[in-house]
């Protein structure tokens, strides 16, 4: 037992989930840290007590792929509203992408602007990605010194005018530098020389359905880009992270690279595990993303990859915008899905309930694996003694239908509105402090 006589909070009777199992135990929190995990911690030892009977306690989610757009585009989604949405989704740490800010996070000055705002406005913990673009190859060391979690490059157009894609030479030189800095490069892997001619041809033919958009950015485009950057990783020794893989065929190429000794990881997103190109046809640009949604068979094969342990983590790729930017034809509309608040709900409904994916696997994909990959473990991604008290409490049996009014996004649109979910997020704690509770009157 810990010698401290009084804890800040004791959470009683919960089922604590880790990647290795589920145990019934109590948690004690002091000064933002977990200081005791055992059975029978007296309630009287806590200044506050919370009875988690019949609830599951997860390490707080780490969303490695979020676009909060501030500074410069706060009208799309700001840090305040975005982090509140993440908290409501059980996320206690997010990694903000470098491209949607204006200016983008490609040098020390721009990094400090973003960090200062996040320190003031973020409800949850954060990390910041630095960009790799052709014009900042000589500024990567200073970005590492600032504290970026890693670097992000686009192999195709980013959709943002002041965040340029990286050609092969930029990638090679950048990956050499990143390897020497012992950092990691996240890559948006699509090939414009495949996508752009297909897009032009489809538009010239007057085809503007969701299936047409998906056809304009085929899986082959992802595969080719992934193979190219894997070759560069073998040449440079650079650690790689492939973001938002939409197909098991992409995951398969990455799995082979792992077997070949490449230090590479891959994420997929909730939308690729729950939505299909038919939803894109039905919902329009609300469900537009890049790479695009695929067919039902691809969704099921992606779940098979996940069940085989070939997918390392799940990131939301929350990429919000005002609803007006979702207008026009499917090729003109902004491509980004608002989904950070629903990530865990989707994994519980589509994974735990529908496909019998164990809670331990969901914890690995959303918390412990990203913490380990990005050197945050066991401070983050764990509920062991000494870990930060970043905690998500869920009720697996509670069901609800997502309503527009439930969303905390600056612009409350989502392809998941109207969907029934089983598994409700009851509370989210960041460093021991409750930042979200599904009921206003609660003891935390």
Q: Pairing state of beta strands 239-242 and 61-66?
A: unpaired
- Helix, strand, coil percentages for the chain (3-state, nearest 5): 40, 25, 40
Mean pLDDT over 242-255 rounds to 98
pLDDT at 5: 65
DSSP 189-224: ---HHHHHHHHHHHHHTT--SHHHHHHHS-HHHHHH
Closest CA to 211 of 326, 270, 298, 269: 298
CATH placement of domain 60-373: 3.20.20.140
220, two tokens? 């082959």
Mean pLDDT over each residue of the chain, to the nearest integer: 96
Domain ranges in the chain? Answer: 7-57+386-437, 60-373
First and final C-alpha spacing in the chain: 23
In contact, 317 and 97? CB cutoff 8 Å:
no
Mean pLDDT over 367-381 rounds to 98
Mean pLDDT over 94-107 rounds to 96
What share of the chain in percent tops pLDDT 90?
96
DSSP 289-348: -SSPP--HHHHHHHHHHHHTT---EE---B----GGGG-SSTTTS---B--GGGHHHHII
Q: Give pTM, 2 decimals.
A: 0.97
The helix/strand/coil state of 98 is coil
- pLDDT tens figures, 251-276: 999 999 999 999 999 999 999 999 99
pLDDT at 318 exceeding the cut of 60 = yes
- pLDDT tens figures, 206-232: 999 999 999 999 999 999 999 999 999
Mean pLDDT over 61-85 rounds to 96
Q: How confident is the model at residue 441 (pLDDT cuts 50, 70, 90)?
A: very low
Question: ω before 103 within 30° of 0 (cis)?
Answer: yes
260, two tokens? 């070949």
Distance CA 172, CA 367 (A): 31
Same fold, 7-57+386-437 and 60-373: no
The per-type count for the chain, helices as H runs and strands as E runs, is 15, 16
pLDDT at 1: 45
The helix/strand/coil state of 304 is helix
Mean pLDDT over 356-365 rounds to 98
pLDDT at 438: 82
pLDDT at 379: 98
pLDDT at 261: 98
In contact, 391 and 59? CB cutoff 8 Å:
yes
- Please determine, looking at this structure, whether the domain spanning 7-57+386-437 carries the CATH number 2.30.40.10: yes
Reported residue count of the chain is: 444
Looking at 71-221, which runs of residues are DSSP E strands? 91-96, 125-131, 150-154, 184-188
Mean pLDDT over 367-377 rounds to 98
pLDDT at 440 exceeding the cut of 80 = no
DSSP 62-80: EEEEE---TTT-TTT--HH
In sequence order, the β-bridge partners of residue 264 are 240
- pLDDT tens figures, 123-178: 999 999 999 999 999 999 999 999 999 999 999 999 999 999 999 999 999 999 99
pLDDT at 43: 86
Q: Is the dihedral of CA 106, 373, 266, 63 positive or negative?
A: negative
In contact, 136 and 171? CB cutoff 8 Å:
no
Mean pLDDT over 288-292 rounds to 98
């Amino acid at each position: 037992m810990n010698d401290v006589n009084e804890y800040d909070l004791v959470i009683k009777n919960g089922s604590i989930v880790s990647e290795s199992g589920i145990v019934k135990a109590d948690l004690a929190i002091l000064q933002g840290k977990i200081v005791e995990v055992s059975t029978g911690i007296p309630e009287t030892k806590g200044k506050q007590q919370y009875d988690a009977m019949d609830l599951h306690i997860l390490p707080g989610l780490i969303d490695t792929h979020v676009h909060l757009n501030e500074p410069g585009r706060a009208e799309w989604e700001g840090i305040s509203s975005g982090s509140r949405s993440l908290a409501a989704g059980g996320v206690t740490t997010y990694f903000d992408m470098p491209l949607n800010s204006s200016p983008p996070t490609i040098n020390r000055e721009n990094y400090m602007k973003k960090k200062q705002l996040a320190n003031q406005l973020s409800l949850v913990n954060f990390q910041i990605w630095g960009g790799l673009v052709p014009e900042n190859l000589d500024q990567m060391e200073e970005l590492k010194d600032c504290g970026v979690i890693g670097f992000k490059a686009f192999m195709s157009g980013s959709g943002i005018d002041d965040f340029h894609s990286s050609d092969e030479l930029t990638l090679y030189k950048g990956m050499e530098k990143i390897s020497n800095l012992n950092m990691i490069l996240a890559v948006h892997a699509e090939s414009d020389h495949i996508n752009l001619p297909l897009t032009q041809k489809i538009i010239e033919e007057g085809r503007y359905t969701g299936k047409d958009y998906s056809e304009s950015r085929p899986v082959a485009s992802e595969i080719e880009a992934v193979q190219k950057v894997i070759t560069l990783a073998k040449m440079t020794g650079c650690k790689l992270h492939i973001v938002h893989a939409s197909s098991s065929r992409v995951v398969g190429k990455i799995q082979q690279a792992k077997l070949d000794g490449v230090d590479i990881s891959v994420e997929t997103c909730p939308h690729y595990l729950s939505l299909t190109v038919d939803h894109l046809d039905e919902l329009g640009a609300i469900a537009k993303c890049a790479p695009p949604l695929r067919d039902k068979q691809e969704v099921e094969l992606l779940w098979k990859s996940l069940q085989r342990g070939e997918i390392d983590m799940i990131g939301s790729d929350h990429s919000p915008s005002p609803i007006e930017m979702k207008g026009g034809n499917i090729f003109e509309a902004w491509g980004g899905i608002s989904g950070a608040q629903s990530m865990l709900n989707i994994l519980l409904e589509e994974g735990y309930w529908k496909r019998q994916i164990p809670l331990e696997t969901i914890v690995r994909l959303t918390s412990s694996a990203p913490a380990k990959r990005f050197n945050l473990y066991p401070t983050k991604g764990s509920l062991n003694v000494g870990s930060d008290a970043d905690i998500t409490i869920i009720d697996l049996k509670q069901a609800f239908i997502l309503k527009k009014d439930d969303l905390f996004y600056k612009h409350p649109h989502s392809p998941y509105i109207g969907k029934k979910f089983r598994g409700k997020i009851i509370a989210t704690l960041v460093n021991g402090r409750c930042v979200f509770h599904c009921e206003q009157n609660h003891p935390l």
